[in-house]
A and B are shown apart, each in its own frame.
Chain A
Amino acid sequence: MLSGAELNEIEKELRAYSDRKMGCIGALKIVQRHRGWITDEALRDLAGYLEMTPDELDSVATFYPLVFRRQVGRHVILVCDSVSCYNVGYEELLWHLMKRLAIGLGQTTADGRFTLLPAACLGVCESAPAIMIDADVHGGLEPPEKVDQILNSYE
């Protein structure tokens, strides 16, 4: 069942739209903010609420990389892998993150703290190489050890 808090936020989101379905990406993100990811159950409940079929909503949910249909850690690290970042230290940064967290791209640390995912381009190429943790962008991560301090601030 969707929680009262989730429903409140979703209703607010839908107010801007003439059609309930238009709010579906926003609604998925609201549920995700509350639960970390979109479970099958949440998907079914939300679909009903938006007057969509679960398949229809899932076709949307699975299309967008920032909607998670699998469990992720408490914090999601998006590593920008655009050519601009690759050019100035992406590989060293990714290598360092993988060693430090002992996971590869697409995986979650054993303690459920971090999930490491690739991102096409975060649009901060002037401070490449860059990552985004949750809603925070961190750039200029050269040498890669600069990321260590940053990781410490995400419990």
Chain B
Amino acid sequence: MIKYLLGNIDNPNAAEIEEYEKAGGYRALTKALSMEPEDVIGEVRKSGLRGRGGAGFPTGMKWMFAANDPKFPKYVICNADEGEPGTFKDRHILEKNPHVLIEGMAIAVHALKAERGYIYLRGEYPEAEKSLQKAINDAYRKGYLGFPLHIHRGAGAYICGEETALIESLEGKRGQPRLKPPFPVNAGFFGGPTVINNVETLANLPFIMASGADSYLKIGSPECPGNKLFPVSGHVERPGVFELPMGTTLREIIYEHAGGIKNGRALKAVIPGGISAPVLPPDKIDCPMDFVSVQKYGSMLGSGAVMVFAEGTCLVKVAWRALKFFEHESCGKCTPCREGTGWLRSILERIENGQGREGDIELMEDVAGNIAGNTFCPLGDGAASVALNFIRHFRSEFEDHIGTDCRKMAVL
């Protein structure tokens, strides 16, 4: 199996530019630079690459929209805000293989005839910043970068991972989402056509350009080609990031790569794509992990972050903590999200505390139903569907919990 995202990370010097070059690094960029920008976009379109930031949007199409916009200057922004709880895949690229991202950005900048690039890096990743900054300096020194590339550090707000909030934050404002359309490809950073791609998306480009779209299409599943990074956490024997072809089943990821459930316990539930992805019960783990299949199984691939819960976990509490997160990270711009996430959290909190009331489950369904589809950005939708799906798959646990206090400890 080919690993092109983190294949070299057993080499302790993998982040060094010389090691990267030795492994064939920056040859894809040289090749791309010898091609017309339109042809690079054509190759990316043909590869079927889909964005790894959560939504799975076809990258070549996004690029084409931006390229077709007559306005200049254009911009390329790398989304390295990685804030989705359970997700730590981009960090591994940034710390251990930063040149694959930088090479990818340089390819994107050439393809889009962009003026400059920014990497929006979350404030909680100081190690990644060091490694990335050194790699950028080295890439300049070796003459690979013919455009300004700058790291912009965030300061702890999850919502800045949403692309329009990210642009606001980059412009020096509160990170609150903008109304779409217009989309960033037409009116993004300071109004210019802007392509925003996730770290892992950009890190796919060197392989695509070096080996060609046809080789890329042979990896993964037909509708979602390529490798995917799966960060696995929770009750497993070997938590970590695994680079596997798109379409690998959840079962294989949990039981083979992550070593199975900790201490031989049974699986109770799994979240397949970061905290915003709806929870799945154990009978769904034959789900192939790609954007299309996970949706058919009633959840979403999201960031690909697999969060595993063993038998014995209180899922009311998990749902409560998830909603606490959404309430805290809601930017406050729109009412359904700002008020609704807090309302859901407070209902879950009283159920968890043994003070649940008759009708609370129906009330949550009503509140979540009024958030879904009515918010400014997908954060609110995510919160609503997380709540609804915990109830949907584990309703009896919520019912049993009303009136009983299962807390082990009295913290918080």
Contacts and interface: CB of A to CB of B under 8 A. Distances in A.
Interface residues of B, number: 58
A84 B172 contact: no
A127 B329 CA distance: 23
Interface in B303-322: 305, 307, 309, 313, 317-318, 321-322
Interface in B119-155: 122-127, 148, 150, 152-155
Given A25-B172, A87-B233, A88-B234, A66 B87 contact: no
Contact of B328 (A22, A120, A135): A120
Nearest to A67: B155
Contacts of A66: 123-124, 155-156
A125 B171 contact: no
Interface stretch (B11-19, B31-39, B78-86, B219-227): B78-86
B83 A120 contact: yes
Interface residues of A, number: 45
Contacts of A59: 173-174
B91 interface: yes
A84 B150 contact: no
Contacts of A63: 157, 174-175, 331
Contact of B309 (A25, A87, A92, A135): A87
Contacts of B148: 16
Interface string B272-315: 00010000000000000000000000000000010101000100
Contacts of A84: 85-86, 233-234, 307
A128 interface: yes
A25 B233 contact: no
Nearest to B332: A63
Contacts of A87: 233-235, 307, 309, 313, 318
Given A123-B122, A126-B240, A91 B409 contact: yes
Contact of A82 (B126, B153, B172, B325): B325
Nearest to A134: B126
Given A94-B411, A126-B231, A135-B126, A29 B239 contact: no
18 contacts: A21-B172, A25-B152, A59-B174, A63-B174, A65-B157, A83-B318, A84-B86, A84-B307, A87-B307, A87-B318, A91-B412, A94-B411, A94-B412, A120-B85, A123-B87, A125-B86, A125-B87, A126-B231
Interface of A: 16-19, 21-26, 28-29, 59-60, 63-67, 78, 81-84, 86-88, 91-92, 94-95, 98, 119-128, 132, 135, 137
